[in-house]
A and B are shown apart, each in its own frame.
Chain A
Amino acid sequence: MEKFDCIVVGAGPSGNAAAYTLAKAGLSVLQIERGEYPGSKNVQGAILYSDALERIIPEFRDEAPLERHIIEQRMWVLDDDSYIGTHYRSDAFNQKPYNRYTILRAQFDKWFSEKVAQQGVLVICETTVTDLIMDGKRVVGVRTDREQGEVFADIVILADGVNSLLAKKAGFHPELNPGDVALAVKEILFLPQESVESRFNVNEGEGVVIEMIGKITQGMMGTGFLYTNQESITIGVGCMLSDFKKERIPPYLLLERMKNHPAIKPLIQGGEMKEYTAHLIPEGGLRAMPQICGDGWMIVGDSGMFVNAVHREGSNLAMTTGRLAAETVIDLKRAGKDFTSANLASYRSRLDDSFVMKDLAKYRDMPGVFHANPQFFTTYPELLNNAARTMLTVDGGDKKSKEREILRSFTRSRTLPGLLSDAYKMWRALR
């Protein structure tokens, strides 16, 4: 019977961070991945935030497959045929070391996994973990779809992604609620490098991010995004699954309409679509977080709902939770302590001390507020865009009358108490 110090299920950012950290400290680690190669089942926008990875592999910039470092962030609020927005661009983002990059996950995860294997982790691909093996209440190993596919370990780290079937089968947490996950679809469109650079006004290696809210989600709670890669553009849109269920809008139709928006279409014109993907993002926040550890097991990454939906951060929380879970295991092992639920609780306190829980706590009311107030995704984008058009159209009307008209449009659609209450709700949810 083969037994390891630790089994890590999944080779995404959280699983790789955990496996790498554990093996570097000398523990014996088995990592099991269901894809043909690490990355082949993984989907992300994708933005890589340097800090989380730097704490694990400080020299990653010399080796990792990175697309472009981001020097400009655009936030667009869209109406049907217009947008109003803010752009922030700074040469400070052009100074090394760069703060964040666009990446292609299939390539990045493969690289990360090679680093994990170099640390001595036994990485087994094309193997699906079907069950956790229990001894009473304690997890003691995993069952896979290979012949004689049972393996054992002192601790099992579940880095199996948003669907997290294993934890559900074991009864650690119930099925996900459609209101706690967003369904995102995206396409990668290939263009000559010069086209990407001229369309976004950037030099070689520099990139732009556009985050969008408004009519593109057709009243559903969600956002759109457009990221520049080396020779391609990633474009996608995601909305809460509960809204998709209610509105019955096919996600690919939503994406196609977004691609045809007059402000977006010229940016992606002529792009050759080479992959269409879909993925769930756990956006329920702190209030939807499942139990994250128990006797012989821990949860990291998406499977633990570790996503900051407001700031579009996920992979950095994944890597950080993976690293902190590993450090918890390493410390317990060095102290000769057992991996009981009580001892593993120090994982939770490590998370509490990090940005992970602090950020999730800060925005814990956000999902609820947005669910209950769809006007933030429909009425306000429309009002803002109309206000800009009114003010910027020169038609012989005087500016004071235009201002009055704009103010009236706001009070007519939201009423004055409604506007004040919306402002208060946003302040409460964001503070």
Chain B
Amino acid sequence: MNVNVEEKLFQNRYKVDHGRPHISIVDPSVCASECRTQQCTRVCPASCYKAEGNGNVSLITDGCLECGSCRIICDDFRNVEWEYPRGGYGILFKFG
């Protein structure tokens, strides 16, 4: 079964803080060379993390649902820097 998560996220309302992502990968080389599992690329419910062909992990936070999963599952390397977006920015739930 194939699921297009972007289509789901398209239904949501966001106020993106352009140029100021609230999550970042501390050291991308750790993802590429040390992390074998790259679970963030599978578990993020908004699929913000992508496994690139070259072994790198890319992160685009625009669709982030602010759940915090990526930060907590990166417990082997603590390689995710996670803050809340600035006040008023990020996901805006209509129904919650």
Contact = CB atoms under 8 A, between A and B. Distances in A.
Interface residues of A, number: 56
B92 interface: yes
A39 interface: yes
B92 A245 contact: no
Contacts of B86: 128, 145
Contact of B43 (A41, A44, A183): A183
Contact of A128 (B11, B43, B46, B85): B85
A275 B15 CA distance: 15
Given A145-B87, A244-B73, A252-B3, A107 B43 contact: no
B9 A245 contact: no
Contacts of B73: 178, 241, 244-245
B30 interface: no
Interface in B58-87: 65-69, 71-73, 75, 78, 82-87
Interface in A353-401: none
A252 B45 CA distance: 6
A46, A188, A250 pick with most chain B CB within 10 angstroms? A250
Contacts of B83: 130, 165
B72 A175 contact: yes
A163 B66 CA distance: 9
Given A128-B84, A248-B43, A275-B93, A241 B9 contact: no
A106 B93 contact: yes
A241 B43 contact: yes
Given A183-B45, A187-B8, A241-B69, A256 B1 contact: yes
A84 interface: no
A250 B8 contact: no
Interface in A159-185: 162-163, 165, 175-178, 181, 183, 185
Contacts of B68: 162-163, 176, 280
A43 B87 contact: no
Nearest to B10: A276
Contacts of B19: none
B95 A125 contact: no
A105 interface: yes
B25 interface: no
A183 B42 CA distance: 13
B24 to A, nearest CB: 15
Interface string A280-301: 1000000000000000000000
A41 B93 CA distance: 6
A278 B95 contact: no
Contacts of B91: 40-41
The residue among B1, B47, B73 with the most chain A CB atoms within 10 A of its own CB is B73
A176 B71 CA distance: 9
B94 A275 contact: yes
A22 to B, nearest CB: 22
A188 B93 CA distance: 11
A104 interface: yes
B12 A275 contact: yes
Nearest to B66: A41
A126 interface: yes
A35 B84 CA distance: 10
A187 B87 CA distance: 25
29 contacts: A34-B84, A34-B87, A40-B96, A41-B91, A43-B96, A46-B96, A105-B96, A106-B96, A126-B87, A128-B85, A128-B87, A130-B83, A145-B86, A146-B87, A165-B83, A175-B75, A178-B75, A181-B72, A241-B69, A244-B39, A248-B43, A252-B8, A252-B47, A273-B8, A274-B95, A275-B94, A276-B5, A278-B46, A278-B67
Interface of B: 1, 3, 5, 8-9, 11-12, 15, 37, 39, 42-43, 45-47, 65-69, 71-73, 75, 78, 82-88, 90-96
Given A146-B87, A163-B84, A274-B95, 12 more contacts: A34-B84, A41-B91, A44-B96, A109-B96, A128-B84, A181-B72, A241-B43, A245-B37, A248-B39, A277-B96, A278-B65, A278-B67
